[in-house]
Amino acid sequence: MRIVITGVAGFLGSHLADHLLEQGHDVIGLDNFVTGRRENLAHLASNPNFTFIEHDVIAPINIHGDLDRIYHLASPCSTASYSRFQVEMLKTNSQGTWNMLELAEKKQARFLMASSSETYGDALIHPQREDYWGNVNPIGLRSMYDEGKRFAEACTMAYHRARGVDTRIVRIFSAYGPRMDIADGRVVINFIQAALTGRPITVYGDGRQTRSLCYVSDIIDGIALAMEADFHQPINLGNPEEVSILQIAREIRDLVPGCKSEITFQPMPPDDPRHRCPDISRAKQLLRWSPKIARTIGFQQMIDYYRQRMKISA
Which residues are catalytically annotated? Answer: 145
Whether the bond into 178 is cis, omega within 30 of 0: no
Alpha-helical regions (H) of 76-215: 81-84, 86-91, 97-107, 143-163, 187-197
Strand pairing class (243-244; 110-116)? unpaired
Question: Which are the contacts of 186, defined by CB distance < 8 A and separation ≥ 6?
Answer: 78, 79, 174, 176, 180
Q: How would you class 76 by CB atoms within 10 Å of its CB: exposed for 0-12, middle for 13-18, buried for 19 or more? A: buried
Asked if 245 and 180 touch (Cβ cutoff 8 Å), the reply is no
Question: Which are the contacts of 308, defined by CB distance < 8 A and separation ≥ 6?
Answer: none
Q: What is the maximum alpha-carbon separation in the chain? A: 59
**269 Cα distance to chain centroid:** 21
Question: Which are the contacts of 189, defined by CB distance < 8 A and separation ≥ 6?
Answer: 176, 180, 181, 182, 302, 306
**121 Cα distance to chain centroid:** 16
DSSP letter for each residue of 274-289: S---B--HHHHHHH--
CA distances for 142 relative to 39, 169, 186, 224, angstroms:
28, 21, 13, 28
CA distance 189 to 192: 5
